Structures are given as C-alpha cells and as structure tokens.
Chain A
Amino acid sequence: MHKVIIPIGPQHPALKEPESFRVVLSGEKILEFGYRLGYNHRGIEKACEARTYIQNIYLTERICGICSHSHSSCFIQAVEEIAGLQVPRRALYIRTIVAELERIHSHLLWLGVAGHEIGFDTLFMYSWRDREVVMDLLAVITGNRVNYGINTVGGVRRDVTPEQAKEILKGMDILEDRTKYYAEIATQETTVIKRLSGVGILSHDDAIRLGAVGPTARASDVRRDTRKDDPYAAYGELDFKVITDTHNDVYGRTIVRVGELMESYKMIRQLLKNLPDGPITVKAPRRIPAGEAIGRYEAPRGEDVHYVKANGTDKPERVKVRAPTLANIQAVSKMLENRLLADLPIIIAAIDPCFSCTDRLTAIKDVEGGAQGTMEWEDLHTYSIRWYRDRGIEFGAANKKLSAMMEGKK
C-alpha cells in the first residue's frame, strides 16, 4: 500500500496545545513518527533574568497552566537553597497540601482527556465535573483556581485555618468515593480496556534508557519518584507508597494515575492531621547571595528540574527549566512503533504532555569570534564531543567503562 504523510498539528482536535507531529502511514499503520516542538515558545527563561526573585515566582508559576504550583515550588526550592533559608515546617506542610491537591486536579483532568481521546466522552464529562470539587478547594485555601500564588521566598503567603481543613477533608471523602468508581470503569469496561491495554508499550529497559519520568516511567515498573528518592517539602515525614505497575502500556499508566489519586487523598489527610504550629514564613533577603542550585520536584507529570544561578543581586543570572514532558516525549516514538493511527492520540495523551512547558530555545553565540548563527543537533553533538575530548574526557570509552561496571554489578 502506498505511503501517506499526515500532519497531526500544529492545530488538531486531539491536541490541546500547538505542537506538530508528522506521521507516515501505510494504510492505518504508523511507519514513522516525527515531532517538532517550539510552537509555544515564550522566552520565559530569558524573562526570568530581567525580573526580581519575587516577580519570578509568579512568572514561573505561569510556565504551565496545570502544574503551576510545581514550577514555582521547584524554582523557590533552588532559590532557598542558595540563600540558605530554613523554611518553617508549617509552610512546608501547606506547600505539600497544595502540591497534592494540584496532583489530584491534574490526574482527574488527565482521566477526562484520556476518555475523550478514546471517544469516551461520558468519562470526560464525569471526571471533569468532579475535578470542580478540588478546584473549589484550591480556591478556598489559595484564593485562585489555577495559578495559586501561595509560594513566597521563605514560606507561604496564606495560612490554612481549621475550618478550611475541615472543608478539604470533606472534599477528599467525596473524591475518594468518585475515584473508586472511575477505577472500576477504567479497569472493567470492555471497550475502554480494548482501547488501552497493549497500546503504547514501553518496556522497563526502554523507560530507563529513554529517561522517562513520572507516571510514564512508573507504569513500566521503574521506581522513580522524587518525593521518595529525594524528599523535599514535607514528603520525608509522610507515609505513602510509590505506585508502580507492570503492564508497561497505557492501561498501566491509567492504573498508576488512579492509584496515585488514592495515595494523594491519604497524604492530604495525614498532612492536615499533623499540621504543625508556628510561623508560615521567614524573612528572606531581597538580594540572594551568589551561588547556584538545582531544584527537583515531582510534578504530576514527572520530575521537574529548575536550575538557578544567583549573582548577588535581586535578579537571577540564569534560570533553566526542564519540564517533565521533555523527558517523556522521547519515549513516544518508541511507544508508537507498529501501532495504528487510532492509537496515536491516546499514546501521546498517555504521557500527559504539556508542550507549552517544554518549549525551550538554545541559541549559541561564539563569544570570541563574534560570529552568530544557529547550530543544528548534529553540530551540537560533534561540538560537545570535541569540547570534552580537548579536556581529556572520552565519552565513548567512559560509556563502555560504565556499562562494564553495570554488568559487573548485576
């Protein structure tokens, strides 16, 4: 059969954000898959350099519309590390409460999107209706439904009152009940299982090799969760499980997300029960001393990384964001191997992509020569090999050594 190339995006009903995929089809079968990021580049990293740390909290919050708290927390953790601030425990607990509420709203949103991608709009409508419960709770404690603005350098801006805590607990009971029902639908309804199971296989080894993060990795039985691996905020004091699954497919990713919802309800109950007394903020300096730090944070979609370099002024010198989708998008081509066109939307949706967060630009400037230009991937690759070789590091040999060590360990 002859080949056709169909464009999925930049504007397409399956995509909620502009992103371009080029799919080569033979009949219904996918032969090749290519993606092009960069339709939603907003220059946030550069903008960060021109703003003060306080302004940057609100700017980083706007990197993503769903995991807004994740990005601002991640940024602020790096800043606090550079400044050496001891954040009060109560503030850490409140941050964690908002973080988990955000995870709940993100996962419920994903469930609806997944339902829509497989043509099951009833699930979409139901889960988004229940998502309103958690959105309202977020509005109650932070004043906003989406960009919460609760973080500040050295703590949080609003306290949680006992009445609010009661309201949150009530909401958790409703949501837990509803989530059990969705878990039942997702794991028992025949057409749903038919569309999810065996689709978008990403084996355990591939997940590690391609650096998948978050629920995408955990569904391939990779125990990778920053909340456990490198506890931040109040996670070190919480009792929770890292949900993993061995299905390796979209079905597994659904199970992981539904399981994480149940864990989140549990965590929020613990957090509210053990909420310590004390101040919610410490005084932070306006100028952050020179230094650099990396913030790691488990966003609903996977590990989020922010690198911050301070130079002693009230503005950062450099901010670098690595959103979780950038780590997961590499795995999509692998998942799409030998699949049908009909599986494409749900496979892309199953990594819970957030393309606006992912869009970054790297421009290279030759400082000495003054010549400007863009470097393609190949050029960058050869350049980096040469750069390291000049300093006596041979990556080919190092890789071999590393794999030899790994083999020996096994």
Chain B
Amino acid sequence: MAHLALSLFYILVFPGLLFLSVFGLAAEYVDRKLYARMQNRMGPPWFQPLADLLKLFGKEDVVPEESNPQIFRLMPVIALTAAVSAFFYIPLWDKNALFAFNGDLIVVLYLLTIPTLTFFLGGWYSTSLYAKIGSVRSVTQLFAYEIPLFMSILSTALLANTWSLSEMTAFYGKNPVYIPVNIVSFFIALIALLGKLEKVPFDIPEAETEIVAGTFTEYSGRLLGFFRLAIDIEAVVGASLLAAVYLPFGLSLPPAFGFLFYVVKVLFMIGLLALLRSVFARLRIDQMVNFCWRYLAPVAFLQLLVTLAVKGVFLR
C-alpha cells in the first residue's frame, strides 16, 4: 500500500504531473522572456503563462459540429499524458531514472512522437480547412526531423552499448571522455527538437500568416489549454532528454545541488531554442523537408559512422 502511494506521489506530484506543469510553465516564461528581450521587447511578467492557462481553463470548449467529438476531445489529453509519461524514464538529477529498464530509450522516443500524432488527428478531425492543412504539414514534418533525431540519439546509445537511458548516463558519467564524440549529433538533435516543438524556423504547421493557427484553429478553452500545457511539458521533456544524453554532468552531486544543476541544464537548452527561433525566418515545408533529408540526415549518418569507428577502436 505504501509502495502504491509513493508511486502515485511520484506520478502525480513530484517529479510527475504537478512539478512538470510548473516547470513547463516556468520554461515557457523563460523562453518567452528571452525571445522578447532578444527582439528588444519587454516580454511578459513571470506569471503570464499560468495566467494564460487559467484563462483558457475558465473558458467554454467549443466543439465544431462537423468534427468527430470523441477524437477532438481526447487528443489534447493523450498529448499531455504521453509527454508526462516520457518524463519518468529520463534520468534527471540522479544516475537512475524513476523507472528504468533496458529499452526505455525507445519508449521515450516513441512517447515523444505521440504528441505530434495527436496534433495530426486533432487537426484532421476538427474538419477545418486550415487545421487540415496544418495537420498534414505536421505529419510531413514529422517524417523529416524524426529520422535525424533517432539517428543522433542512436549514436550515443551505440557508444554506451545500451538501450537504457539510465545506463547510458551512467556510462558517460564514468567515461566523460566520450561525451565530445557525439557533439555533432547534439546539434542535430537540438534542431530536430525545434521541429518537434514546432518553433521557428519549423513552425510551419501553425504558420499564422498562412493558415491561421494550423492544427489548433478550432481548439479553444480547456482543450486548447491542455494542448498548450502538453507542448510546454514536451519542451521540458525534450530538453531533459537532450540534457541527460548529451550533458550527463553533475549526476553524483547531493540531491539539492543536483536538482539545481538539472534545472540550469534544461533552461540552458530552452535558451538555445529561444536563440535559434529569434534569428531565423520560417522555412517552407518543401525547404524544411529538403533541409532535413539533404543535410541533417546525412550528417547524422556520418556521426553514426564516426561513433562506430570510435567504438571499434577504443571500446573493444
């Protein structure tokens, strides 16, 4: 019984849903503030993301008459659930994740793909033209950035010779010499994360000047609030994944310092994403796909070869 209560506490409060929501909103604030400051604006006050969310939660849900109401209502919740679930398998400020098994890397990557699929289904079944175009774009984009992301994470896993994230961080913690080997794939993963989070230059599925709000055109009220929270959480989870895989430092610090160090790492990633999105213009979908397949994927593949070579020479 006590075991169950503890597990529920982990899942719902810390480091689960509640903590993630707070952290996600904080990360959104940091992102928005940095973005604004880089654009010479004041930016929002610290409570703005929470205020936005509360406002959305207080509003009426409007479900379009022609949409499929079950799917329309379900998708935001699934997006949120998937993003939160992925978090439990990532080692945060300790060498071990909350739950770990050999193969959890694949589960995390899979769970992180689900939000994009919910964007597609939610947009498609809301039957608005803008939402349909947006949802097709988000799936087209998925096929472009997902492969480079998988390949770059795979190269780190290959070097550590494990499918478990916890074992991977343990390996890199023990042999920090091997971290720089994967430096190229870190940047590939960062760019791919930009695509996953649908931020400039890859915010093509919700390009407001073309297709209004894309996938989310018909969403309002609580459902939109859930989607936004899911995206915030996805950003934190994605950043945590990158931090765990590419910056596995400070994992043996005492818990309080380790936690602070973890927060700094994630905010650093968020800052990098904000920097990238303030210096680029939005690409077109054909240019985006072209870029991912012509440059990102081959470079990720080369990284894979380099990693294999390093492994063959030094880690026999």
Contact = CB atoms under 8 A, between A and B. Distances in A.
A13 B278 contact: no
Contacts of B175: none
Given A191-B281, A342-B204, A343-B284, A122 B212 contact: no
Interface stretch (A110-118, A213-221, A402-410): A110-118
A126 interface: yes
A119 B39 contact: no
A119 B129 contact: no
A192 B283 CA distance: 9
B28 interface: no
Given A6-B130, A13-B212, A191-B201, A342 B207 contact: yes
Nearest to A27: B136
Nearest to B282: A119
B41 A116 contact: no
B211 interface: yes
Contacts of A115: 281
A344 interface: yes
A117 B200 CA distance: 12
B209 A14 contact: yes
A191 B133 contact: no
Contacts of B285: 28, 340, 342
Contacts of A194: 281, 283-284, 287
B65 interface: no
A14 B41 contact: no
Interface in A12-60: 12-14, 25, 28
Contacts of A126: 39-40
B210 A191 contact: no
A119 B201 contact: yes
Nearest to A190: B280
A129 B283 contact: no
B280 A195 contact: no
Interface in B160-216: 200-201, 203-204, 207-212
A345 interface: yes
Nearest to A5: B129
Contacts of B281: 115, 118-120, 123, 189, 191-192, 194-195
B40 A341 contact: no
A341 B212 CA distance: 12
Given A125-B40, A191-B201, A342-B285, A120 B210 contact: no
B277 to A, nearest CB: 9
Contact of A344 (B38, B129, B210, B287): B210
B286 interface: yes
B29 to A, nearest CB: 18
Given A119-B201, A122-B278, A191-B283, A342 B39 contact: no
A47 B231 CA distance: 52
A344 B207 CA distance: 12
A291 to B, nearest CB: 47
A12 B217 CA distance: 12
B68 to A, nearest CB: 19
Contact of A119 (B40, B130, B209): B209
A129 B40 contact: yes
A393 interface: no
A13 B284 contact: no
Contacts of A13: 208-209, 212
A195 B207 CA distance: 14
A13 B206 CA distance: 12
Contact of B39 (A6, A25, A125, A191): A125
Interface in A62-110: none
B279 interface: yes
B280 A120 contact: yes
A345 B282 CA distance: 12
A122 B207 contact: no
A24 B133 CA distance: 13
A262 to B, nearest CB: 23
A189 B200 CA distance: 15
B200 A119 contact: yes
A14 B40 contact: no
Interface in B276-304: 278-287
A25 B285 CA distance: 15
A195 B210 CA distance: 14
A6 B133 CA distance: 10
B65 to A, nearest CB: 18
Given A4-B129, A6-B133, A121 B39 contact: yes
Contact of B286 (A123, A340, A344): A340
Contacts of A120: 200, 280-282
A11 to B, nearest CB: 10
Contacts of B210: 14, 341-342, 344-345
Contact of A342 (B132, B208, B284): B284
Most buried by B among A14, A25, A189, A191: A191
Contact of B209 (A25, A116, A123): A116
Contacts of B284: 194-195, 340, 342-343
Most buried by A among B132, B203, B282, B287: B282
A122 B279 contact: yes
Nearest to A199: B284
Interface string A184-200: 00000101101100000
Most buried by A among B211, B212, B281, B282: B281
Contacts of B280: 120, 189, 191
The 3 nearest A-B residue pairs measured at CB: A119-B282, A120-B281, A14-B209
23 contacts: A4-B133, A6-B129, A12-B212, A13-B208, A28-B285, A115-B281, A116-B209, A117-B209, A120-B280, A121-B200, A122-B38, A122-B39, A122-B278, A122-B279, A123-B281, A125-B39, A125-B41, A191-B280, A192-B281, A194-B284, A195-B282, A342-B284, A342-B285
Interface of B: 38-41, 129-130, 132-133, 200-201, 203-204, 207-212, 278-287
